[in-house]
Homo-oligomer: A and B are copies of this chain.
Amino acid sequence: MTDFLAWTQACQARIEALLGDLLPSPQIVPRRLHEAMRYAVLDGGKRVRPLLAFAAAEVTGAPADRAQYAAAAVELIHAYSLVHDDMPAMDNDALRRGKPTVHVEFDEATALLVGDALQSLAFETLAHPGLNHDPAVQLKMMRLLAQASGSRGMAGGQAIDLASVGKPLDLTELEFMHIHKTGALIRASVQLGAQCGTLKDATRNALDHYAKCIGLAFQVVDDVLDAEASTATLGKTAGKDAADNKPTYVSLLGVARARELAQELRTDAYAALSDLGKPAQRLRQLADFVVERKF
């Protein structure tokens, strides 16, 4: 695992540097907007989606200096969604990654524009020349990210989530919500990283099955951590789902069964990778990381 830790740190340093380059300098007008965009994105988060993109790129032998743009694009989509989700009209959260949320640190109008502009920047980033040797494949990648982000993906998952507050969802409905809300972008992260190289159909399907399992496992573990951790450890307001009367894996299954479910999903994720051998080693380690993480 020391080797894995070094790899994650190298990936995180690479993505942090690239994001710092992609985000306009706070010296450029409109300064306050650019300052707020950098505040929202830089120096925060585990960068799970970029790590998945880099790990998937290893499966298809795609060089990291191409995959990093796919990694940055999914992270920018993720970052924009957090800024908008935290706003008063949505989750109304004041703390994120141990810092005041964007609308608290700046103001609501700025938070709205930060999210909007980060989404544009995500698509600009994925359109960087040469992410795949075939630009027609890269256009497909752009459609994939757009679909994963839109009303039938992440934004749609948010809408389902909002509609579910205070309603007795069953496990199938909860899973349906998370497949959209967090699952779609996690699947896109894996696919886009892999598609920076040459991806065969069988590998694509295996990776997608892996990504579905990881996406759900990530959410199950999130619910467990939210139920158990303190706000200080989590870096965001803990116990918020229960306070908001939101259905979670813990409220439906209890902590013990939720933990078991996360382990089962890891086993499934491993199984999906069985034919991919050593190049999929980082993806296996990330499955472990997602399930065993404490924050």
Q: Mark A70-101, 1 if CB is under 8 A from B, else 0.
A: 00000000001100100101100000000000
- Contacts of A182-230 to chain B: CB distance below 8 A: none
Say yes or no: B159 contacts A110, CB within 8 Å: yes
Say yes or no: B152 contacts A24, CB within 8 Å: yes
Main secondary structure of the interface of A (DSSP, over half): helix
Say which size band chain A's interface belongs to: 35 or more
Q: In the assembly, how many copies of this chain are there?
A: 2
List of B residues within 8 angstroms of A129 by Cβ: 136, 139
- C-alpha gap A127/B127 in the complex (Å): 10
Say yes or no: B127 contacts A112, CB within 8 Å: no
Say yes or no: A151 contacts B37, CB within 8 Å: yes
List of B residues within 8 angstroms of A59 by Cβ: none
| Given A30-B159, A84-B112, A127-B139, residue A151 in contact with residue B121 (CB < 8 A) | yes
A interface list, Cβ under 8 A from B: 24, 28-30, 32-34, 37, 80-81, 84, 87, 89-90, 107-113, 115-117, 119-121, 123-124, 127, 129, 134-136, 138-140, 142-143, 145-147, 149-153, 155-156, 158-160, 162-163
